[in-house]
Amino acid sequence: MNSDIITEDLESRVILLMNWRRRAIRASNGHYLSSSYCRFWSNILILFNIISAIAVLFFSNNKFFNSIGSTEGTFSGIFQNSDILTAIAGLFVVLTTAIQYVLKLEIKSRDAKSAGNDFTNIKRNIEIILTGGDISTDSIQSIQISHTHTSRNHELVPKRLWSRSERKTQAAFAEDREFERSVLKRFGLDEGLLGTTD
């Protein structure tokens, strides 16, 4: 059975909504993980940028370092090379700024979080429909439109992160088995229709 074709059969509609619900759970987990990943690396780059900028200011004051170097013998070797250290620190500022600009990790983090929220809302809407008892064509089409719109308007989760979210997704599926059983029981359907938690 193609799970994306809306039929008049109640059993098919319930299974269709359950499949979409599982997709929404997996998608939200993947996008939330992607958001955390992008935010983490964005914060690392910001930290490196701040440290590099402070280092530029610190090493760029040659007169200050030369005066310390002349009075403190241990520091004289370090501070005589302050121009080189300033150039290296400046290079780090340029590199981290360029990487931030090119990768746009902060923007990607916000987009992934928004996508995760959208898929979570789709999951909740499906649960409202499944517990409400009225599985109309309009309600199913509304979910289908929301799912398609959300999928098209957000970036895909990178394959590596999608695979990493699998464990959390399987745990969510396992926790939701009782909900799915109760829905099937409510509509008088066989539990065997659930199949595997893919």
Terminal Cα-to-Cα distance of the chain (whole angstroms): 16
Nearest to 126 by CA among 145, 116, 139: 139
* Statement: residue 62 has pLDDT above 90: no
Average pLDDT over all residues of the chain: 83
Average pLDDT rounded to a whole number, residues 169-196: 80
Q: Taking residues 140-163, report their average pLDDT.
A: 92
- Pick the residue with more confidence: 35 or 67? 35
Residues whose CB falls within 8 Å of the CB of residue 72, separated by 6 or more in sequence, listed in order: none
**Average pLDDT estimate for 71-94:** 69
**Model confidence at 1: pLDDT above 90:** no
What is the C-alpha separation between 195 and 193, in angstroms, rounded?
Answer: 5
Which pLDDT score, from 0 to 100, does residue 175 have?
A: 82
Supply the Cα-derived Rg of the chain in whole angstroms. 27
The pLDDT of residue 33 is 96
